[in-house]
Amino acid sequence: MRYQPIPNDLFVRNRLKLEKKLKPNALAVILPNDEMPRNGDQCFPFRQSSDLFYLTGLDQEKCILTMFPNHPVEAMREIVFTVKTNDKMVTWYGHKYSLEEAGKVSGAKTIKWLDDFEGVLRELMARAHVVYLNQNENPRFSTEVISRELRFIEQLRHDFPLHNFERLAPLLTDIRLVKEDEEIELMIKACDITGKAFNRVLGFVKPGVMEYEVEAEITHEFIRNGASGHAYPPIIASGADTCILHYNNNDKECKDGDLLLMDFGAEYANYAGDCSRTIPVNGKFSPRQRQVYEAVLRVLRKASRMLVPGTTIDKYHAEVCKIVEKELIGLGLFTEEDVRNQDPENPLFFKYYMHGTSHFMGLDVHDVGNKQQPLAKGMVLSCEPAIYIPEEGIGIRLENDIVVDDDPLDLMVHIPIEPDEIEALMAK
């Protein structure tokens, strides 16, 4: 792996947290991600299931975890299965976990070859009163592709129709929300690498460069610092495209006088960074660009201090929208009288700020959790206010990653964001 080894006591503690939430005589089965076909004889680069990685640290395809805390045989209470290697596999694909290595990475005591999984599973099912199965329940996600988890669910329901099956995702969501100290350290590393990439970009951008060249500079810095790559497809949007929220064609020329909005983040040890910065292509903000930029920066400063225990994303976002509304009035986009006369169901600010301020972060850039979830110390969220003025060709988004606390911790405080600092660095 490109990242430094993670002490396995993190994964042992994570499994203990899940174990405490399982019902008596329950079996839980956690599967790896599919190896997704690309084209011809190729697959996309493998990325482990966030849930399986969270519980085992295993970053290899074809690994499975079973948990049966109440099983009378101690060796059957926690089992990791990994693919059995042979000389031909090593010749073609390189090293794979041995039984000893899988145990060292995960901290699990019982490790078996994947060949044994079907027989062991039937033995576990014979004793289980409850069977917990997992699937991706992220409300923002839908796909036509049938996952390994769904195929497994269908197979087990067919083979064991009288068993009581329950959802594992709510339990995993609950324990993944608050980050352990080791997880925060990994996210700090992802943010540090992201910052290095932004500093590289500040010395590179000038009129005439292509958006994909900027993306290449970011990618270069990510890889050379041990990241697996981007935590999500990067947005490198210049000119009018700064007002397109999920623009990622990244194929336009960056022109003199335009802004360049970049939304990007490194993935390190499967943990995500998520940063947004907006800079002037020619190295100097116009008076209007700076006016809008400073308005967004003021919102970011205030909003990031509001990510404290007890609030929810919904409540917090409503307060941030009030701050944005005042800034929009100050920018002359509408008046206080306009606000008093507006349609409450279609507020005026929504034309210029139409997305959420924060989302949970962790092993997924849009991590587990919901907008009504009370925030607790140790949760990590993005903070990404913005103002988009399409008629002026101005779109500005600024985003840092924040650890929830009574005194919130900004993981990206070291990444340049003040307009004077950005102009000075671009002038070097």
Residue 401 designated active-site:
no
Helical segments of 331-366, H only = 336-340
Distances (CA, A) of 297 to 37, 165, 383, 391: 42, 49, 11, 21
Residue 115 designated active-site:
no
Taking the C-alpha atoms of residue 295 and residue 298, their distance in angstroms, rounded to an integer, is 5
Residue 129 designated active-site:
no
Taking the C-alpha atoms of residue 150 and residue 145, their distance in angstroms, rounded to an integer, is 10
* Candidate list 59, 384, 401, 410, residue with the active-site label: 384
Helical segments of 203-312, H only = 211-224, 287-304
Residue 355 designated active-site:
yes
* Candidate list 274, 325, 327, 401, residue with the active-site label: 274
* Candidate list 71, 176, 317, 359, residue with the active-site label: 359
* Candidate list 151, 246, 288, 414, residue with the active-site label: 246
- Which residues, other chains included, contact 236 with Cβ-Cβ below 8 Å and sequence gap of 6+? 211, 212, 214, 215, 218, 248, 250, 260, 261, 262, 264
Taking the C-alpha atoms of residue 330 and residue 296, their distance in angstroms, rounded to an integer, is 12
Residue 180 designated active-site:
no
Angle between helices 419-427 and 287-304 (to 10 degrees): 120
* Candidate list 213, 355, 405, 423, residue with the active-site label: 355
Closest to 168 (Cα-Cα) out of 24, 374, 26, 58: 26
Residue 274 designated active-site:
yes
**Strand stretches in 40-193, DSSP E:** 42-43, 63-67, 78-82, 110-113, 130-133, 164-167
Residue 399 designated active-site:
yes
Residue 116 designated active-site:
no
Residue 352 designated active-site:
no
* Candidate list 149, 183, 263, 367, residue with the active-site label: 263
Closest to 67 (Cα-Cα) out of 131, 155, 126: 131
- Provide the annotated active-site residues: 41, 246, 263, 274, 355, 359, 366, 384, 388, 397, 399
